[in-house]
Amino acid sequence: MSTKSFRQRLLYYSLGAYLIFALFFCLVWQQVPWLTQFDLSVNAWFTNLRTTWLNPSVIAITNFGNPSNSALLNAVVLIILLSFRQQQLALFSLVNVALVGGLGNHLVKQLVMRPRPTAATHLVYAGGYSFPSGHAAGSMAFFGALIVITYYLVADFKKRRILNSLSALLILLIGLSRIYVGVHNTSDVLAGWTWGFAGLCLTWWLFLKFNLLPNKNAAD
């Protein structure tokens, strides 16, 4: 696939994800009854899975996705990338975590001001508003950026697949953990993933358009 074709596909992915996010936004803004019922049903399914042996593991996963931990992990990634003179990829990661998973998600929360669900006991403390899930968006932005970084720096397909599978699993588990611990609706998490994915693809498209990324597997 040519660079131009790949770049065009990224733009389509981003626009498609933003359209899906806009749909979630409108449904939540209008407080559509069927979405509320969907959230109540799926939320209840997850919270009914709670057991004394599973709770600590899920709480650990959800705490791992806290903004402070994401910032710390991103700082470590930035230091490693800069030490190997990968300034372009360091900037790519910083933009995704700070603007997509951080500032952008926060601004949407303040605009929508959706209360957090109250049907089940919260297993962890969560302040602020519910839509979209900051943990879901933040994990998509950070671990999605790691997938992109791996694409450029890891030549071995098997190693790349293992690393990317781990990143994808963490994105999934961190998002679902927010429903399990009772602090987010299912639609919050889906919207958070969509927001993060849309921003990730848009950032990747912009960096490719303006030649701000290294050649693939430049570390070799």
User: CA 101, 104, 107 angle in degrees (round to 5)?
Assistant: 125
Task: Classify 3-210 by CATH class.
Answer: mainly alpha
Q: How confident is the model at residue 220 (pLDDT cuts 50, 70, 90)?
A: very low
Model confidence pLDDT, tens digit, residues 73-94: 999 999 999 999 999 999 999 9
| Mean residue pLDDT across the chain | 93
Tokens representing 24 are 């979630």
Which bin fits 54, alpha (ψ -120 to 50), beta or left (φ > 0)?
alpha
Mean pLDDT of 131-157: 94
Long-range contacts of 206-212 (CB under 8 A, 24+ apart): 207/88, 207/92, 208/3, 208/6, 208/7, 208/10, 209/7, 212/88, 212/91, 212/92
Q: Where do we find the tokens 């470590």?
A: 76
Long-range contacts of 9-14 (CB under 8 A, 24+ apart): 10/201, 10/202, 10/204, 10/205, 10/208, 11/201, 11/202, 11/205, 13/197, 13/198, 13/201, 14/198, 14/199, 14/201, 14/202, 14/205
Ordered by start, the domain boundaries in the chain are: 3-210
The number of residues in the chain equals: 220
Q: What pLDDT does residue 111 have? A: 93
Percent of the chain having pLDDT more than 70?
98
Mean pLDDT of 189-210: 96
Model confidence pLDDT, tens digit, residues 203-216: 999 999 999 988 77
pTM of the model: 0.94
